[in-house]
Chains A and B, each alone.
Chain A
Amino acid sequence: MTASTYFMEATYLLASILFVFALKRMSHPDTARRGMFLAEGGMLAAIIGTLVGTHIVTWTWIIAGLSIGSIIGAWMAIWVPMTAMPQRTALSHAFGALAAALVGVGEFAVRSSEMHPITRGALGFEVMLGSLTTTGSLIAAGKLQGLIPGKPIQFKGQNIVNLLLFLSLATFFVIFLAHPEASEVFYTLLALAFIFGVMLVIPVGSADMPVVMSLLNSYAGLAAAATGFVLGNNVLIIAGTLDGFSGFILSVLMCKAMNRSITNVLFGGFGAVTAESTTSIGGVMREINLEDAAMQLAFASRVIFVPGYGLAIAQAQHAVRELAEMLEDRGVTVKYAIHPVAGRMPGHMNVLLAEADVPYSSLYEMEKINPEFPSTDVAVVIGANDVVNPDARDNPKSIIAGMPILEVDRAKSVIVLKRGQGRGFSGLDNPLFFKSCTAMLYGDAKSTLTHLAQAVQHV
């Protein structure tokens, strides 16, 4: 080993340590930001180490790639609005996975036949995970951006097609292990994985996106880890594994928050909500006008806001904060209840409210806030539906039975902000809307909240 190789290995070790420290500092919002500086330093060190320690013959492609990537990356970092965070993250998963897959293709072309069988297995995993995450994430991003319908896309025999795809993927993987030099086998494997990624995500409904996002996060990380095995590079293995496990842990948490099993999610069919017989609820929804709602809020002593994806679509995070401040000035205690799967990715609502300067000490997790609903005067549901559906708790026949919910229906009164009378994304009826303590306030969440704030001011 030459001195420059030692230097490279040292930067890799440093990067690995800094990555772990950075993630450790993520355990608190006060330390998280400076922790990320460590990770950024580690990344820079590893890049410099690689350029110093590798015998580089052409700099053109490297400089071009780094420049173009930095410009696009910086543009994304600066200009993407917080409301578009889920699709940006999905796109990012696609980019990371594509890089891993391409490195795999390059390695195959150069030295597949001389690889140890286990390394070749890692190469197979790398290109499969990389490719299916690329297309899967692109579909997810398309759905989140509204380019592809958010409703589950399903057709007859979908499960059989997917099963056949999966089996042929496995078969070609085995053939590849036996015939490492057969490039047509390798490229068929690659193509099948691209198709499989599409098939995996198109049947998923928007409401299940948090689980899918976490899984794709995990796959992208594991693809990077597999790359590490192929290249015999420990920092790739460590960083990829950290990412893979982070995504896996998040998937498990999201599954728990929806009362779905991880196998149910892993082996397809997720979000494929079959229109089961929902108990059609009788009764009428009571409508309330702005002035009455404002009056109710102004004279309450405890108010809890329950945000959902509707808050993100309407970009109403600033409006809700203004209303909350108005109420706080009148001496009302205001809290926010955050369901783990509210929104389209883990922590989605927290980020939106943080953007609007809502102090994170006012944001409460489900377990903490649920006991407080009975003593709450008004719970304001903003564009949330399934996460406050009491059927999940009371009706064992419901599709979402057993899913933990925010027990909004136990509050003394409930105001539901909703765009219209339609059902939520899952297409379920929500008995909460028909309760006598519930009042509906229709309209765009942002303008409704702004008008509410004005009305509260004049009370």
Chain B
Amino acid sequence: MMNPAVLIASIYVFALAAFLGYQVISRVPPLLHTPLMSATNAISGISLIGSLVLAGASHYPTSAHVLGFIAVTTATINVVGGFGITDRMLKMFGKRKTKPEQTEVAK
């Protein structure tokens, strides 16, 4: 189904994404490591789009649709829960970045 040229392009994408990921993520301060983990986790919930196809596309049998349904559910939990909790955490970090006497408050 997939021809070798596409496969090789995929490997390029993988290698470049790995390099980019290393560059970007090594700049994240330890302060934000928990939100980072929960954010990347939410982003990897992108496997949701694979699950959507499995759950509803024409070229799959009904049994695959059922598997897809479970996958859509868990991936959606991951995406919604992951982004939601990341936002909750980051809101806390933004809240009072300065000491009270320097009244500048981030919203």
Of residues 49 through 85 on chain B, the ones whose CB sits less than 8 Å from some CB of chain A are 49-61, 63-85
For the complex, count residues of A whose C-beta is within 8 A of B. 113
Contacts of B68 in A (CB 8 A): 61-62, 65, 102-103, 106
Residues of chain A within 8 A (CB-CB) of B13 are 234, 237-238
User: Which one of B52, B61, B79 contacts A51 once the chains associate, using CB atoms below 8 Å?
Assistant: B52
> Could you tell me the distance in whole angstroms from the C-beta of A224 to the nearest C-beta in chain B?
4
Of A14-22, A283-291, A292-300, the stretch lying at the interface with chain B is A14-22
CB contacts (< 8 Å) of B82 on chain A: these are 73, 77, 92
Interface members, chain A 341-364 (any B CB < 8 Å): 345-348, 350-351, 354-355, 357, 359-361, 363
Nearest A residue (CB) for B59: A110
Tell which of B49, B54, B78, B92 touches A355, judged by Cβ atoms closer than 8 Å: B92
List A contacts of B47 (CB < 8 A). 96, 99-100, 103, 223-224, 227, 236, 240
Does the CB pair B54–A103 fall under 8 Å?
yes
Q: Is A47 part of the contact surface with B, judged by Cβ < 8 Å?
A: yes
Instruction: Report if A175 contacts B (CB, 8 A).
Output: no
Interface bits A13-55 vs B (CB < 8 Å: 1, else 0) = 0010001101110111110110010011001001100110011
Q: Give CA–CA (A357, B51) in the complex, Å.
A: 39
**Dominant secondary structure at the A interface:** helix
Instruction: Please tell me which one of the listed residues A69, A85, A249, A347 contacts residue B80 in the complex, with CB atoms under 8 A apart.
Output: A69
Report how many residues on chain B are interfacial, defined by Cβ distance under 8 Å: 90
Task: Determine whether the beta carbon of B27 is less than 8 Å from that of A27.
Answer: yes
Q: Check if A141 is an interface residue, CB within 8 A of chain B.
A: no
CB-CB < 8 A to A39: which residues of B? 39, 42-43, 83
Interfacial chain A residues near B74, Cβ < 8 Å: 69, 95-96, 98-99, 102
Residues from chain B with Cβ under 8 Å of A24 in the complex: 24, 27
Say yes or no: A43 contacts B45, CB within 8 Å. yes
In the complex, chain B residues whose CB is within 8 Å of the CB of A50:
49, 52-53
A residues near B71, Cβ cutoff 8 Å: 65, 98-99, 102-103, 106
Q: How far is the CB of B69 from chain A (nearest CB, A)?
A: 4
Interface status of A109 (Cβ within 8 A of chain B): yes
Distance in Å from the Cβ of A232 to the closest Cβ of chain B? 5
Contact of A360 with B97 in the complex, beta carbons under 8 Å: yes
Name the A residues within 8 Å of B53 (CB-CB): 50, 54, 231
Contacts of B45 in A (CB 8 A): 43, 96, 99
* Residue from the set A39, A43, A47, A69 with the largest chain B CB neighbour count within 10 Å: A69
Selected from A66, A240, A360, the residue in CB contact (under 8 A) with B46 is: A240
Contact between B75 and A76 (Cβ–Cβ < 8 Å)? no
B24 to chain A, nearest CB (A): 5
Other-chain contact of A61, B31, B38, B55 (Cβ < 8 Å) = B55
Give Cα A359–Cα B34 distance, bound, in whole angstroms: 17
Q: A56–B72 contact, CB under 8 A?
A: no
Across-interface contacts of B83 in A (CB, < 8 A): 36, 39-40, 43, 77
B43/A19 in contact, CB under 8 A: yes
Q: Which residues of A contact B52 (CB under 8 A)?
A: 47, 50-51, 54, 62
- CB distance B7 to A99 under 8 Å? no
Give the residue among A19, A29, A118, A236 with the most B Cβ atoms within 10 A. Answer: A29
CA distance A105 to B65 in the complex (A): 12
A72 located at the interface, meaning its Cβ lies under 8 Å from any Cβ of chain B in the complex: yes
- A selection of 18 A-B contacts at a CB cut-off of 8 Å is A28-B29, A32-B93, A36-B39, A73-B80, A77-B85, A77-B87, A85-B85, A100-B47, A102-B51, A110-B64, A240-B47, A242-B43, A245-B21, A246-B21, A246-B25, A347-B30, A347-B34, A363-B31
11 extra A-B contacts, CB within 8 A, seeds A217-B41, A228-B10, A245-B25: A20-B20, A23-B24, A61-B55, A61-B72, A74-B84, A92-B41, A102-B71, A236-B47, A244-B21, A245-B17, A249-B26
